[in-house]
Structure 1
Amino acid sequence: MLLKKNIPIKYIFGKIKYEILFVAIYGFAIEIIYKNFNITEISIPMTVPTVLGTIISLLLAFRSNQAYDRWWEARQIWGAVVNDSRTLARQVMFLIDDPYDPDQIDGFKNRIIKRQIAWCYALAHGLRKEDPMPAIEKYVSAEECDSLQDYDNKHVGLIQLHARDYNNALKQGWVNPYQQIEMDATLTRLVDSMGKCERIKNTVFPSTYSLYIHLALHFFILLLPFGLVELFGFLMVPVLIVITGCFFLIEKMAIHLQDPFENKPTDTPMLTISRNIERDLKQMMRDKQMPVMVPQVNYFYVL
């Protein structure tokens, strides 16, 4: 997750260094040709690249807006995961009760809450196509780990275990039917959030749309030096680099935001959020073993 402050220029322009190098070489080549061969008959009026640049600007603005909407939706979903995880823990702590066997009930409650912590980590790693088992083994029993082997998506298996325990609590009389319905509604919201994340992950941003904008942008860059060379002379190259650099940065920003679950600094900080959920749920359980704080690397948190 990128922080608001201290983002180095090296990181920003490192994303477009090859594009800037190409533009600089191309600009120098056009300027040398104009100076040495005095070719003025192929100059292009600035109105042509201006109109094309305006069209590309509108397309990039629309694409950036769509990419940001995907990123913001992902963040909203994980905000709902935080709220529903806290709700689940609260319901488990205060709705499930058996005055005749409090020790068994306490173990039952702790098992469900720890499994919810595991679910958050499993979902985060699953969205990034990583094996979640090393991260969740300490939160679930060996028997439950074995049962998860039957599931390709471990977070789905963990929700099933939640549902099984809720049903067992109803049969044992630890909750009444109305309480069980409320607890199941929280599980339903978690499943809904899980499905929304998977939809974003599996829905590819239209490649043809990205390709057309990319080709139009390169065509604009090829035309732009012919319009700038007569206006700026030897200053054409730095002006060209500044203008094209702005376009490339906007395009790169949209590319990074459109996929919020790819384990990049611009991603939704799912593991950081999962650690915060773990901290809150363990405090609700009066557990003293808090998760390790996420290290900060200058301008972003380690995801």
Structure 2
Amino acid sequence: MKKLVIATRQSKLALWQSEYIKAELNKHYPDMQIELKTFSTKADKILDVPLAKIGGKGLFTKELEIALLNKEADIAVHSLKDVPVVFEDGFVLAALTKRFDPRDAFLSEKYESIEALPNGAVIGTTSLRRRMEIKMLRPDIELKDLRGNINTRIAKLKAGEYDAIILAATGVQKLQIEDEVNYFTPISTDLMIPSMGQATLGIETLDNKELVDLLSVLNDENAYIESTVERDFVRVLEGGCQVPIGSKATILEDGKNIKFQAIVGMPDASERIEEEVIEPIENYKEIGKKIAQSFIEKGAKELLKRAEEIAFK
């Protein structure tokens, strides 16, 4: 191919990620003309309603997929955490990039950590997963919805609307805006289990062998293994992007084992199921499915259904 068009959302972070993919591809295909084409998704347009109430799956991807179908673009760059675990016919996840920092992060002007917040402090987040995990750590905290792009959210924090906010660490780091707040503290995955695929970029395209082969240079084996475990877990549970599920696989330093941390619960943390296992890396295709089945036997599907009903009220 002589020319490649990348479909991307319009936010600064989405553009950074698409420019990153463009640069990585140009390292391998220096003569290829690559351009970005921006689109606005449903989640970008509706900023006054929690995502869980808008519709769940495909909020950040649908318009980009339409652009692929209409031949307006060849590939779409997504944050993998926003990508549904089941693709519609004709679409494929062609490549997964090396993972950035997968942790959530605590941002505040006055306090250095969740533990340091005063009783009844206000934390901004709309994520049902983060709400659940914050309530596990600090039941006294008041939670307040927070929508908008990263810069908008930080501006609201600095304006005093919140005592702290929780964001994905990788987005703040990519935009190099850690210093815009007094305290930027990534949170250990032992305290807050991230969303599936957090900090990995997924490249979507139509099911086209030439394109898939071309994009294979972007693939990172470790990211593929970890995301397979995480996405299998969510897929078997039939949980979408907007329900309280944490799913994090980590290849350990020995390179022989994977630690998998998973949690499902109610947004107020009143009920939850959680598990952590260490398995040989060669079992990665079965780990997520096996733990999901264990969760199902403990009532996870019923728990998620009730959590979703609360979220969509």
TM-score using structure 1 length: 0.24
**Would you tell me which structure has more strand in proportion to its own residues?**
2
Give 1 or 2: higher helix fraction: 1
Q: Which has the larger radius of gyration?
A: 1
Larger RCO (CA within 8 A; separation ≥ 6): 1
